[in-house]
Structure 1
Amino acid sequence: MVIPVHDVNPARRTPWVTYALIAVNFAVFVFLTPGVSGSLTGEGESLAQLCDLEAFLGRYAVVPQELIHHRMPHLVPTGATGVGPQGPGCVVAPPGYTKVPELSVLTSMFLHGGWLHLLGNLLFLWIFGNNVEDRMGHVRFLLFYLVCGYAAAYGFALLNAGSAAPLIGASGAVAGVLGAYLVLYPRARVWVLVPFLIFLPLRLPAWTVLGLWFVLQAVYSSGAGVTAAGTVAYAAHVVGFVVGMLIAWPFKPGTPPPPEPRGALYGRRARPGW
C-alpha cells in the first residue's frame, strides 16, 4: 500500500471547508472522545475508561441494526462499572436519552477509534480535499462530503443489517473525496511513499494511486486478504468512493487540468506528461 504525501495540483482558492473539517475531527477526538488521554501517554485503558467509551459510542456512533430498523436497543451501556456473575464489566440499563439513528450518522462521521484512524483520514482529506472543494465550491463541497458520508453509512448498514457494532469515522466521506478526485484530476501527479525496505518516494498519476486504493478496499470488503475484516468497514469505503465518483461526474467538463510537474523524477528529468 502506498502512502500519499503531496499532490502536484495547486488549488486556486483557500479550502476553508477542508480546513474546518480537519479541525473539527481533530478537536472532537482530542477533547470529547473518552480515553484519549490514556492513549496519548501510551498507557492501557482501564475498565472504567472502556465502559465510558462504550457508552459514548453507543450514544453517538451509528449502529447498523438501529439505523435499518429505526429503533434503539432496550439496554445500553451506562458508562458505569459493576460486578456480575462473570466478573467485573460494564453496566447496562434502559437508555436515559433519545437517540435518533439518522442523526447518529452525522455524529459518527466525526468520531475515530485511535490516532492512526484519525490521522490516516485527515491525511487523505488534506491532500485531496482542497482540489475537490476548489472545483465544487465551499457550500457544495460540504454538502457533497456529508452526502458521501451518509451514503457510505447506509450502504454498510444495508450489508450488515444485523450488526450491533458501532460504526465510526470519516472514512466513508473521505472515500467520496477520493472518488471525486479520481474523476476530476486522474492525471494529477501524487508524491507517495512506497514501503520497500525503506520508504521510497515516487511520483505517480492519481489514477494509479487512487485506483489501487479502491481495488484494495473492494478486495478487503469481500474478506479476502484480511484476517479481521470486521474491524474496518471496507464496504463503507467502497460505497463512499463510488458515490463520490458519480456526484463529481457532472463537474468534470470544464475542470482545468493540473499543471505539468517539473523537476527530477526518480533521479531523472521528468518527461512530458509526467
Structure 2
Amino acid sequence: MFIPLHDSNDLKHIKLQWVTWSLIAINALVWGITELAGANSEFTTAAVLGLGFIPSVVNDFAELQPSLVLVPEDATYITYSFLHGNLLHLGSNMIFLWVFGDNVEDAMGHFRFLIFYMACAAAGAFAHGFLFPDSESPLIGASGAVAGIVAAYLILHPKVRVWVLVLGRIPLPLPAFIPLLFWVVFQFVMVVTDLGGEVSWAAHVGGIIGGAVLVLVLRRSGVPLFDRRIESPRAVVHKTPQIVPEEQSPQPPRQKWGR
C-alpha cells in the first residue's frame, strides 16, 4: 500500500521523543532475543504463548499449562504488543511508530503518551477477542497500538505533508490525510472482508477507535485538533529569494551629457 518515510512536523512541547525511541528499542530488543533463540525454539514458543494475547484463555474457554503462564492473563492485553513474528512484521510497525509517534508524544507529553500507547494496544486486543472469543491462536504485534497513533496523528495534523513510498517504489509528498485516511478506511474494509486471514484487522480497528477517542482526552490543553497549518517535508521546502529594498539597490551610473 504505502510506507511512510518522513514528515517535517517539528516538536513544539518536548525536546526529545524518548518514549517513542524507548518503545522502538524494546520492541527491537524483544524481537532480537526471540530471533536468536530461533522461531521454533521452546523459548520463543513459551514467550508467544505466555505473553501473547489468546482470546480463549482470557475468556476462560481454555487454560494454559501452568509452566507457560508468565504474566497474569489481563497483562497479555499489553504484553502481546512487544512480540513480532518476523523482521517485516517488526519493521512495518516500527517505521509507522518512528514517523508518527513523536508528534503524538509531543501533543500529549511523555507519560500520557505511554498510557495512550498501552491503552491502544489493549483496545486492539479487546476488539480481536470480541470478534474471535474462542480463538486459541496467540495475537502478537504492535499493530493495535500503532493504529491508535495513526488515528491520533490524522486528527491532530491532517494537513502536514508526509513523504510516503507508494506501491513500494514511488516517493511522494502528500498531505497526511490522504494516505492515512485511506489506510484507516482500508482496515475497516478488511475487517469485514478478510475474517479468516492471518492479519488481525480487528486489532487494527480497535486501536484506531481507541486512538481517535483517547487523543481527545489525553492531548495537552491548548493543542488544537485538525491543525490547519500546511507544512512541507524539508526536502521540498523552497526558500523565498531575498528582495533587495529599492533604496539599497545599486543605482546605474549617471551618464555625462556632452555636446
Equivalent residues of 1:184, 1:252 under 8 A apart: no
Q: 1:110 to 1:123 in 2, by over 3 A?
A: same
Give the 3-state SS of the residue equivalent to 1:5 in structure 2: strand
Residues 131-146 of structure 1 aligned to structure 2 (within 5 Å): 131-146=103-118
Q: 1:60 to 1:185 in 2, by over 3 A?
A: same
Give the alignment partner of residue 54 of structure 2, picking from 37, 40, 63: 63
Q: 1:201 to 1:159 in 2, by over 3 A?
A: same
Q: Which residue of structure 2 aligns with residue 230 of structure 1?
A: 197
Instruction: State whether structure 2 residue 74 is matched by structure 1 residue 102.
Output: yes
Q: 1:29 to 1:205 in 2, by over 3 A?
A: same
Q: 1:269 to 1:65 in 2, by over 3 A?
A: same
Q: Which residue of structure 1 aligns with residue 5 of structure 2?
A: 5
Deviation at 1:72, TM superposition (A): 5.1
1:145 and 1:51 mapped to 2: Cα distance? 29
Instruction: Note the residue ranges of structure 1 that are not aligned, 5 or more in a row.
Output: 40-44, 77-93
- TM-score, normalised with respect to structure 1: 0.77
Equivalent residues of 2:173, 2:233 under 8 A apart: no
- TM-score, normalised with respect to structure 2: 0.81
Give the 3-state SS of the residue equivalent to 2:100 in structure 1: helix
1:152 and 1:52 mapped to 2: Cα distance? 25
Q: Which residue of structure 2 aligns with residue 187 of structure 1?
A: 159
Deviation at 1:119, TM superposition (A): 0.6
Return the letter of the residue paired with 2:185. Answer: V
Q: Which residue of structure 1 aligns with residue 26 of structure 2?
A: 24
Instruction: State whether structure 2 residue 232 is matched by structure 1 residue 241.
Output: no
Give the alignment partner of residue 151 of structure 1, picking from 96, 117, 123: 123
Q: Which residue of structure 2 aligns with residue 82 of structure 1?
A: none
Deviation at 1:57, TM superposition (A): 1.4
Give the alignment partner of residue 183 of structure 2, picking from 213, 222, 227: 213
Residues 251-270 of structure 1 aligned to structure 2 (within 5 Å): 251=219, 254-255=222-223, 257=227, 258=229, 260-261=231-232
Give the 3-state SS of the residue equivalent to 1:222 in structure 2: helix
Q: 1:263 to 1:161 in 2, by over 3 A?
A: closer
Instruction: Note the residue ranges of structure 2 that are not aligned, 5 or more in a row.
Output: 240-259
Q: Which residue of structure 2 aligns with residue 199 of structure 1?
A: 169
2:124 and 2:109 mapped to 1: Cα distance? 22
Return the letter of the residue paired with 1:215. Answer: V
Identity %: 40
2:68 and 2:200 mapped to 1: Cα distance? 27
Q: Which residue of structure 1 aligns with residue 136 of structure 2?
A: 164
Q: Which has more strand, going by share of residues?
A: 1
